[in-house]
Structure 1
Amino acid sequence: MPSLGAASREKKGPGSATLGPPAPRADAEGHPHAPSRDAGSVRSARAGRTWPFRAAPCVDGGLSMARPTDGARLGWSRARGARYSPLAVSASTDSPEERAEEPEDGDLDDGGLPFEGPPPAIYPVQLSSKHMDRDAVKVIRRLNRYGHTAYLVGGGVRDLLLDRRPKDFDVATSAKPGEVRRLFRNCRVIGRRFRLAHILFAGGKIIEVATFRRDPHQKFAQKRYPRRPPKTRANTPEPVWLSPIHSDVDEDADLLIRNDNVFGLPHEDAIRRDFTINGLFYDVKRGEVIDYVGGMEDIERRTVRTIGDPDVRFREDPVRILRAIKFSARIDMGISPDVYDAMVDFRSELERAARPRLLEELLRLMRGGAAHRSIYLCWDVGVLAELLPEVAVFQDDEAPGAGRTWGRLRAIDERHARGKLPSDAVLLAALLLGPIEEALEGVRDQSAAFEDFIEELAFRLALPRRIKDRIRLLVTSQRRLRAGKIGSLARREFFADAATLYALEQEARGAPVPEWAIDPAAAEEQAPRRRRRRRRRKKR
């Protein structure tokens, strides 16, 4: 059996992951042989009656663990093509040197890796390879080879099921962040509240790897489906879907999540997520979707539904309200009636969320190719009145130019479809243009009037000063551009963004867009240079 050092010298292509130095299995503090709750664990003090539902896939297609983790265990095994049968796993007596060796494909038996948890619904699904990321698959296979469970998770699985190209691919695993770092030299561990491993590849690509987590105070109920989902694998126990238990929740209780960085199991990780469509795992090797929360049925119905009571889930993290709007608008999904009602009832909770998160989610609504529908949903639900009351009042009053706000948002979506998304400052300026111009109308000191308008808004969303100053330049330059007085403005650093904002406004009006607004770079080259006057020398 070759050593890790030999395995690490294998030929690598560009962007491929590389093995780290030999190291025995260790816990988060670096102690070797520490008992771990990884894929080999079968019994837990928290888990009651458990059902170890599957084996970890190996590189050769077999289903087994490379070596059992410390401690005697008893579990269930699913060999390929076999029925479920009990499997006794003896305690490991390997030395650290032996544990450092990488298992060869032929060394992996076909007995199966025991794994605990309630029985999920398992759907055989072969996702489209044209949207699958090869580097994410490499990461998962390497984690599997070393005895860890690893799945694609979250939005990547959702988008693949909807035949959309995911923006990024996230991996959830039983491996601790330190263990992931020892397996990949191209890895860095980041975060304080959430310790995540980032696997770096060529071209700036990052595969995010997170350890399965749980809410230490969360309990859940197992509920049976009214009838077995028709597309699930037949040779598995009757599946259940999990729902968080929120008993005796006081209306005035502070439910805001501030720390849930506790390692857990796959089913515990699934129920702590926000929406059922984001709580799915995908087993790349076996081609199976693992569903603990009923997300596959909501994918088929194209419905946004929370995992658990939406009232409680939005109070735990109010930003989930914005995420529900984002998924509904971007993926063209309906919102469950109880979720919609909770969004209306608890929209005021957004003021308790971290202000930088609010700004980032607002920008995501604008960047995602569905800015018009996203902001309209925010206005309809009442969320816009919490985030941007200036815009909400402007639209409610049907002020002059209110209709052009929706026109500019539609123009932004068209540019996104063409791959020409404007900068963040242009996106916010397009949304705020009507209210700002109303506030500046007839005012001599426009800089002071702008500061009065933007001060509270900038605090509410933690708006960076550079973006605030940029918005001021873009908006105040529009009067000159409408008058056709480009002049020296074309040589200013912000001219391209100002021209883009002008083009969005022209498209919203249904007016033709001038050539200099379509190609600001050409206008800058043609701009007349200001001649410097030579100073006359005084005659002596």
Structure 2
Amino acid sequence: MKSVINFCKKLLNSTNDKVAHDFSQGPIVIPRDQHPVSRQLISNNALKVLYRLNKGGFDAYLVGGGVRDILLGLAPKDFDIVTNATPEQIKGLFRNCRLIGRRFRLAHIVFGREVIEVATFRGHHDDNSGNNQKISKQSDQGMLLRDNIYGTIDEDAERRDFTINALYYSTKDFNVYDFAGGVHDIEQGVIRLIGDPETRYREDPVRMLRAIRFATKLDMTISEETHAPIKPLASLLSNIPAARMFEEFLKLFVSGKAVANYHMLREYDLFEHFFPSVERALCANDNFSLDESEQIAQFILQALENTDIRIANEQRVTPAFLFAAILWFPLQKRIASIKAASDILPQDAFFQAYHELMSEQQQSVAIPKRFQLVIKDIWILQERFEKREPKRAYKTLEHPKFRAGYDFLLLRAEFADDSVKELAKWWTDFQDAPQATQSQMLKTTGRSAKPRRKMRRKRRPNSKSTSES
């Protein structure tokens, strides 16, 4: 990382510290011998797309995160490309292309499991001719609902969100083009929006989440003018579709920086737009006490920290586990409230609370059904762990989601009373014990099932014996 920072400083000195925030002056052009971006660091499939677009007579550039991460000394995960070819022209060049998106039309070039995203240069919305009305639309709050306006590379750079993403690499001349002072901000470690921050956030409120994600991912700080409007405009996230919020949840919480993102989301009043019921609990509302709120905060943080550790160790994680942990205490409070209000069986109280909580949650984050089912299994298993009769214990052990439920029990044990700690230790010992030991453990729990009394069947009167009597 230090060598890259030194490169940036050297580069800035070589350009007289000129930062191209004035788009009218054009980009800073960084020749090949003054930057570390190399074709050896770029996906072969991305290079194929760049070469074919160039061969087809179009301009094409690697843009954004791919260029930024190489300058930072990181291994890029995504290779996005921009071009002056329209989506239809791109599709004409690639048989393995599919067009997606209504808000902004994109081309996905599919190479097996790798997908290279190609976008047409975006243009401005200030066309007074009226020709853009059918391809561009904004809400009353300024959010872009449709954005299929194409332009030049200069216009495209102005439409980028952050300066560090307005960096373009060409395979024609191997130059890097810096339109917004992105190299300077990389050297300074600053996340800075291009243009007026309030306008840019209104165009797409998700940029507030992206600012936080880039800050934690790249270990940078958000510039003052960029973070100042976030709190006042936080409510705009309520206009974002719940399905898109799920995608943002994955990027924020299942990328290895969950703890850092959680703290920043709460700092800027954005967490409540993911989990409104949890935020109320964290603020000691909805009949939660201050002590309960503190316990909930520690419980969530531990779950997030465990997730970050697993990702760092390249272990498998599932979003369902995080959802189960984050929503656990609101679920318990709701179950208790239902039980207090009516004479209802515990199982019925659970399912009523589950459906109410998930229906509310779906309005903020659209959790796919495949994850909802796992969440439910994890929660149901917590009650089943308490049933240690022989048949039930073995059946619980064979449950497909036993491991996830058991890990959740261990998490609960860190914050619960001694009875939950004892339960977690019992299941830890039981699952790896030999069968003979397991049988002994089941006998000594004091919870073995009482032998069922055999009911003697009443003999029906025999018609023959009756007649003979």
TM-score (norm 2): 0.72
Residue 199 of structure 1 is aligned with which of 109, 112, 116? 109
- Residue 435 of structure 1 aligns to a residue whose secondary structure is helix
Aligned length in residues: 382
Q: Which moved more, 1:286-295 or 1:306-315?
A: 286-295
- 1:303–1:335 Cα contact (<8 Å) kept: yes
Matched, 1:209 2:113: no
Residue 438 of structure 1 is aligned with which of 319, 326, 333? 333
Residue 497 of structure 1 is aligned with which of 404, 425, 444? 404
Residue 315 of structure 2 is aligned with which of 420, 433, 437? 420
- 1:411–1:508 Cα contact (<8 Å) kept: no
Q: Which moved more, 1:156-165 or 1:432-441?
A: 432-441
Residue 382 of structure 1 is aligned with which of 269, 272, 278? 269
* Cα distance in 2 for residues equivalent to 1:417 and 1:517: 24
Give matches, 1:404-483, under 5 Å.
404-441=299-336, 443=339, 444=346, 445-481=349-385
CA 1:210 to 1:507, structure 2 compared with 1: closer, same or farther past 3 Å? farther
Larger radius of gyration: 2
Q: Over residues 294-331 of structure 1, what are the superposed CA-to-partner deviations in whole Å (9 max), with x where a residue is unaligned?
A: 22211111211111111111111111111111111222
- More helix as a share of residues: 2
- 1:412–1:504 Cα contact (<8 Å) kept: no
* Cα distance in 2 for residues equivalent to 1:461 and 1:437: 20
Q: Which moved more, 1:314-323 or 1:173-182?
A: 173-182
* Cα distance in 2 for residues equivalent to 1:384 and 1:199: 34
- Residue 165 of structure 1 aligns to a residue whose secondary structure is coil
CA 1:465 to 1:517, structure 2 compared with 1: closer, same or farther past 3 Å? farther
* Cα distance in 1 for residues equivalent to 2:51 and 2:432: 47
How far has the Cα of 1:377 moved from its partner?
0.8
How far has the Cα of 1:451 moved from its partner?
2.2
- Residue 258 of structure 1 aligns to a residue whose secondary structure is strand
- 2:161–2:194 Cα contact (<8 Å) kept: yes
CA 1:527 to 1:296, structure 2 compared with 1: closer, same or farther past 3 Å? farther
Task: Tell me the equivalent position of 1:364.
Answer: 251
- 1:303–1:333 Cα contact (<8 Å) kept: yes
Task: Tell me the equivalent position of 2:16.
Answer: none
Task: Tell me the equivalent position of 1:223.
Answer: none
Matched, 1:301 2:168: no
Residue 291 of structure 1 is aligned with which of 157, 178, 181? 178
- Residue 351 of structure 2 aligns to a residue whose secondary structure is helix
- Residue 262 of structure 1 aligns to a residue whose secondary structure is coil
Matched, 1:165 2:75: yes
- Residue 127 of structure 1 aligns to a residue whose secondary structure is coil
CA 1:473 to 1:288, structure 2 compared with 1: closer, same or farther past 3 Å? same
Task: Tell me the equivalent position of 1:144.
Answer: 54
Task: Tell me the equivalent position of 1:274.
Answer: 161
Q: Among the aligned pairs, what percent are the same residue?
A: 36
Task: Tell me the equivalent position of 1:100.
Answer: none
How far has the Cα of 1:129 moved from its partner?
5.7
How far has the Cα of 1:414 moved from its partner?
0.3
Residue 488 of structure 1 is aligned with which of 375, 378, 395? 395
Task: Tell me the equivalent position of 1:71.
Answer: none
- 2:299–2:325 Cα contact (<8 Å) kept: no
Q: Which moved more, 1:376-385 or 1:180-189?
A: 180-189
Task: Tell me the equivalent position of 1:328.
Answer: 215
CA 1:527 to 1:507, structure 2 compared with 1: closer, same or farther past 3 Å? same
Q: Over residues 190-221 of structure 1, what are the superposed CA-to-partner deviations in whole Å (9 max), with x where a residue is unaligned?
A: 334433222222x41111111112132289xx
CA 1:181 to 1:376, structure 2 compared with 1: closer, same or farther past 3 Å? same
Q: Over residues 77-101 of structure 1, what are the superposed CA-to-partner deviations in whole Å (9 max), with x where a residue is unaligned?
A: xxxxxxxxxxxxxxxxxxxxxxxxx
Give matches, 1:14-53, under 5 Å.
none
Structure 2 residue identity aligned to 1:437: Q
* Cα distance in 2 for residues equivalent to 1:269 and 1:171: 12
- Residue 146 of structure 2 aligns to a residue whose secondary structure is coil
* Cα distance in 2 for residues equivalent to 1:218 and 1:373: 42
Structure 1 residue identity aligned to 2:350: Q
Q: Over residues 420-454 of structure 1, what are the superposed CA-to-partner deviations in whole Å (9 max), with x where a residue is unaligned?
A: 24222112112222332333348431111222333
CA 1:315 to 1:192, structure 2 compared with 1: closer, same or farther past 3 Å? closer
Give matches, 1:3-82, under 5 Å.
none
Task: Tell me the equivalent position of 2:100.
Answer: 190
Give 5+ residue unaligned stretches, structure 2. Answer: 1-22, 129-138, 285-289, 340-345, 440-456, 463-469
How far has the Cα of 1:253 moved from its partner?
5.2
* Cα distance in 1 for residues equivalent to 2:438 and 2:187: 55
* Cα distance in 1 for residues equivalent to 2:252 and 2:124: 28
Give matches, 1:207-356, under 5 Å.
207-217=116-126, 254-356=141-243
Structure 2 residue identity aligned to 1:414: I
* Cα distance in 2 for residues equivalent to 1:280 and 1:459: 36
TM-score (norm 1): 0.63
* Cα distance in 1 for residues equivalent to 2:152 and 2:167: 14
- 1:405–1:434 Cα contact (<8 Å) kept: no
Task: Tell me the equivalent position of 2:11.
Answer: none
- 1:277–1:298 Cα contact (<8 Å) kept: yes
* Cα distance in 2 for residues equivalent to 1:327 and 1:481: 41
CA 1:441 to 1:286, structure 2 compared with 1: closer, same or farther past 3 Å? farther
Q: Over residues 109-154 of structure 1, what are the superposed CA-to-partner deviations in whole Å (9 max), with x where a residue is unaligned?
A: xxxxxxx985211223122666421221122122222321111112
Structure 2 residue identity aligned to 1:451: H
How far has the Cα of 1:527 moved from its partner?
10
- Residue 198 of structure 1 aligns to a residue whose secondary structure is strand
* Cα distance in 2 for residues equivalent to 1:327 and 1:522: 46
Q: Over residues 376-409 of structure 1, what are the superposed CA-to-partner deviations in whole Å (9 max), with x where a residue is unaligned?
A: 1111111112331222233333423431211111
Give matches, 1:112-151, under 5 Å.
119-124=26-31, 125-127=35-37, 131-151=41-61
How far has the Cα of 1:349 moved from its partner?
0.9
Structure 1 residue identity aligned to 2:401: F
CA 1:379 to 1:143, structure 2 compared with 1: closer, same or farther past 3 Å? same
- 2:259–2:305 Cα contact (<8 Å) kept: yes
Q: Over residues 21-61 of structure 1, what are the superposed CA-to-partner deviations in whole Å (9 max), with x where a residue is unaligned?
A: xxxxxxxxxxxxxxxxxxxxxxxxxxxxxxxxxxxxxxxxx
Task: Tell me the equivalent position of 1:30.
Answer: none
- Residue 487 of structure 1 aligns to a residue whose secondary structure is helix
Task: Tell me the equivalent position of 1:531.
Answer: none
